[in-house]
Structure 1
Amino acid sequence: MDKAFMEVFLWTLLTFVLTWTTYHVTNRRKKATKLADVAVEEIRYGGPDVIIVGAGVGGSALAYALAKDGRRVHVIERDMREPERMMGEFMQPGGRLFLSKLDLQDCLEGIDAQKATGLTLYKDGKEAASPFPVEDNKFPYEPSARMFYNGRFVQRLRQKASSLPNVRLEEGTVRSLIEEKGVIKGVTYKNSLGEESTAFAPLTVVCDGCYSNLRRSLNDNNAEVISYTVGYVSKNCRLEEPEKLHLIMAKPSFTMLYQISSTDVRCAFELFSNYFPSIANGEMASFVKNDLAPQVPPKLRKIFLKGIEEGAKIKVTPAKRMSATLSRKKGVIVLGDAFNMRHPAIASGMMVLLSDILILRRLLKPLRNLGDANKVSEVIKCFYVIRKPMSATVNTLGNAFSQVLVASTDQAKEAMRQGCYDYLSSGGFRTSGMMALFGGMNPRPLSLIYHLFAITLSSIGQLLSPFPSPLRIWHSLRLCGVSLKLLIPHLKAEGVIHMMSPINAAAYCKNYMTATAV
């Protein structure tokens, strides 16, 4: 009796499992077929050519560029309110050139943006001006930067994009990507009414920033938090030299002040996880007053303290580093901080992003059918190579410069830090060459490598002066090691050929760094 009962039970269980599996598989196929049918119908009856996830600087600029080329663009942004960001407040001269090529230069107007002509460096009571090169350079645009509130700039870009009839800008939170046989077909999202929706297009662009939830399913790169940028705004004040970004080589790392509007000054500094005062209980404000303020030059100190004394909101943003990798899926492109990040010390993230948009637009323009996933994949591979002169230069410079700015008791590292200050403040070819690299006016990795080795040799010369004792020779050898550690990881990450090839850089400059519009 027990044996018969067990047989019946087992056969019943097996029948249930098979029935449930058959139903589940059939249901999934029906759902996939339904989604595919909806996608075909959307495209056939006027659906978008491109879906862009995120309407920040990158998403809005790309939407405008593709729409100008006749594409139908659907942009989905989580929050349409004006962003309150501390990053993205400095547009390098190279970024302004790219804005003009995208016909977006007027987005810097009407937001009280301030002109910047270069840096003023401070170290150990000394100061030096490092202007962007004006003469004897091949840069085809006015060699000045702009400083502004990031949120105002983003809103102007959104307005410009949404002014085109073939751009649909919608508020919604993208939940996931719709995938079929390794090809991204669209996205699922929750709209502003809280309703679950789907959107389909031949091409999806993920441009939702450094906290992207979609990146993990597309790329193999992981973001590394290397430090934290802490900042606040001192209101109703103006710097003595408002046209300069004031960079103080302090301890533990850099402190900076710059004019983001005609009446407001951004004050920011770098801290590390090993010592991070609490903002909530007032420790951070005390740290600013007691530890940082005495290192700030007297002419800047009053403004530096003004925001703290008036109770300005202190913000913290993690400084992340992440190399770029190609997506594992077809039918999708990742851009911006979701794709590639470097230390923000040289304020060039937006410039690299706008460069990427120019390249991508140029490559996509000849394609009539974005639904051909194989052709789009080839475009993405070309894009990945073409972007290297600008991205590799900025990535290497940003991460190397940020490490040099960190104060150290190590004599070799401190000699490199002093050598960097002396090099930037020496004037002539040294200063103009480095400032051209900072400003994106000369995106050539070989030029960066040249200046890095020149700074290293100059620093070694100071270490060996007045005579080369055994200890000084030892520190000089260690300094060479420090210099190589700044460069070698980037040679590996960016590719030796891409970093060392002058042909790629020349081709990039010819196509994207000229006065003619793209």
Structure 2
Amino acid sequence: MATTYAWLWTLLAFVLTWIVFHVLKTKKAATEEAETEAEERRDGATDVIIVGAGIAGASLAYALAKDGRRVHVIERDLKEPQRFMGELMQAGGRFMLAQLGLEDCLEEIDAQEVKALAVYKDGKHATSPFPNDKRFPLEPVGRLLRNGRFVQRLRQKAASLTNVQLEEGTVKSLIEENGIVKGVTYKNSAGQEITAFAPLTVVCDGCYSNLRRSLVDNNTEEVLSYMVGYVTKNSRLEDPHSLHMIFSKPMLCVIYQITSDEVRCVAEIPADSIPSIANGDMSTYLKKTMAPQIPEHGKLRETFLKGIEEGLLEMKTTATKRMSSKMCDKRGVIVLGDAFNMRHPIIASGMLVALSDICILRNLLRPLANLGNTKKVSDLVKSFYIIRKPMSATVNTLASIFSQALVATTDEAREGMRQGCYTYLSRGDFGTTGMMTILGGMNPHPLTLVFHLVGITLTSMGHLLYPFPSPRRLWQSLRLLAWALQMLGFHLVDEGFKEMLIPTNAAAYRRTYMAKATA
């Protein structure tokens, strides 16, 4: 009996001790949290530091400032960017701009409406319009534009708010204390080294980000190929409202109207064989190898050749890159834009994903009166990685698979996939309509994309088996199926089986972020 009482008293003492310890620990954590918030309120003149003022940085600055945040944007070069990536704003991206109150930034830059995708292969061509989707609240029309002009409009809109400080400077490093990012060290335009503090730092300084390596482990970028681009001036295509995609060899060419009298010509080149622009090899390559494959239809070849000589001064090459989105575990900092997630530009949806991410992040942060509570912000950021998946996973998967499937090759199975993609995009049935809705960013639904990828695979196998399934054709179709499953399987693992295959995630995203504009 005495032993029993002793055990009971010991157990009671243990329970009481644990309760007291737990209560004290909770109070201490709450006190530290309150002290942190009070400290940030008292000392911080800035709520958010944004590194980079490109599409993502300028848009985020405006969105957060409209919510009353004090925003300090530090951009390495505030002159108009001269680049030829990010020149197509999909209809879905235009809708995201409207959600952020930034759609007027597409005005006064001579942007052109894009209403369709025109595809060309082996002397055949077809034009597939972006379809009307009753679930999409805007007209299914995108914009073709000069990227630099658009960026400048976004910067001007953000800087027009009194609580936005837009400054030219180069960020050298992040300031960390006890594993929490407190701000940045940067060199301003006068060469002075300055430290700036804020409870939240957002890194969106593009694909060449130097800060990414210190924030995300094992997040390496993969160079897939190179794009060479130039402008043909004083020209207008016969169909200026279509993005013209030529299934050329070894890789694609794209031609589109970026202003009322300028046409952009872009050719993709394998990463291991880039002709030199300086010594004229690039011009020779474009004239002799690529130009004969450009169709004469719609003044495409004429425009392509005219711009090679005229566009030498503006001719540039840029790498196409792929980089999976990886969570940043550090508190007090968020990574966005191309510094966070990249995909092949073949479906021109990088701006769409960035703007979608900003809408999500803005909505998550909006209820927080103060961003100094790094634990709460960190918890919200974890939600951000999940909520963004319907859009980002759809775009990343489609861009990666198209970039592989549309490369010309002597492999019979892969050529069958290339032909299947052309057929699926050009035949004008429900498959084409559904794929065009996804391409336009109007239906961010990974599972729906999977169904269409299965449809493309079956169409491609049908081409290989036609007119009758001989043993050789059957073998090639099975090889094609294995390759398609390999490509899809990679993204199911990379993006997450749950995020790709459970439709409730996409439905929740559509209800919240694809509803009628409220900004």
CA deviation map 1:456-497 (0-9, x unaligned): 111111211221111111001001012112211111111000
Structure 1 counterpart of 2:497: 496
> 1:517 offset after TM fit, Å?
1.4
CA deviation map 1:355-406 (0-9, x unaligned): 0000000000111121111111101100000000000000000111111110
Query: Per the alignment, do residues 139 and 503 of structure 1 end up closer, same or farther by CA in structure 2, a change over 3 Å counting?
Result: same
CA contact (8 A) 2:95 2:517 kept: no
> 1:229 offset after TM fit, Å?
0.9
CA deviation map 1:304-331 (0-9, x unaligned): 0111122533101100000001113110
One-letter amino acid matched to 2:202: V
Structure 2 counterpart of 1:397: 398
Point out where structure 1 has 5 or more consecutive residues left out of the alignment.
Answer: 1-38
Structure 2 counterpart of 1:334: 335
1:344 and 2:342 correspond: no
Aligned residues: 480
CA deviation map 1:401-449 (0-9, x unaligned): 1111100111110001001101111112111100011011000001100
Structure 1 counterpart of 2:307: 307
1:417 and 2:415 correspond: no
Aligned 1:62-101 pairs, distance under 5 A = 62-101=60-99
Structure 2 counterpart of 1:132: 130
> 1:279 offset after TM fit, Å?
1.2
Give secondary structure in 2 for the equivalent of 1:441.
Answer: coil
CA contact (8 A) 2:229 2:267 kept: yes
CA contact (8 A) 2:232 2:311 kept: no
CA distance in 2, matches of 1:168, 1:44: 19
CA contact (8 A) 2:185 2:196 kept: yes
Query: Per the alignment, do residues 53 and 329 of structure 1 end up closer, same or farther by CA in structure 2, a change over 3 Å counting?
Result: same
Give secondary structure in 2 for the equivalent of 1:278.
Answer: coil
Structure 2 counterpart of 1:105: 103
CA distance in 2, matches of 1:495, 1:369: 32
CA distance in 1, matches of 2:479, 2:495: 25
1:156 and 2:157 correspond: no
Structure 1 counterpart of 2:197: 200
CA distance in 1, matches of 2:405, 2:304: 23
Give secondary structure in 2 for the equivalent of 1:481.
Answer: helix
Structure 2 counterpart of 1:426: 427
Structure 2 counterpart of 1:317: 318
CA distance in 2, matches of 1:516, 1:296: 40
Structure 2 counterpart of 1:353: 354
1:50 and 2:48 correspond: yes
> 1:516 offset after TM fit, Å?
3.8
Query: Per the alignment, do residues 295 and 206 of structure 1 end up closer, same or farther by CA in structure 2, a change over 3 Å counting?
Result: same
1:210 and 2:207 correspond: yes
CA contact (8 A) 2:51 2:57 kept: yes
Structure 1 counterpart of 2:283: 285
Give secondary structure in 2 for the equivalent of 1:55.
Answer: coil
Give secondary structure in 1 for the equivalent of 2:259.
Answer: coil
Structure 1 counterpart of 2:442: 441
CA distance in 1, matches of 2:272, 2:154: 39
Give secondary structure in 2 for the equivalent of 1:85.
Answer: coil
Of 99, 104, 119, 2:117 maps to 119
TM-score by length of 2: 0.91
Structure 2 counterpart of 1:166: 163
CA distance in 2, matches of 1:311, 1:403: 29
CA distance in 1, matches of 2:308, 2:459: 39
1:141 and 2:138 correspond: yes
Aligned residues with identical type, % of pairs: 64
One-letter amino acid matched to 2:454: F
CA contact (8 A) 1:224 1:321 kept: yes
CA contact (8 A) 1:97 1:141 kept: yes
Point out where structure 2 has 5 or more consecutive residues left out of the alignment.
Answer: 1-36
CA distance in 1, matches of 2:271, 2:403: 16
CA distance in 2, matches of 1:42, 1:191: 24
1:509 and 2:510 correspond: yes
Runs of 4+ in 1 over 4 A off after TM superposition: 39-43
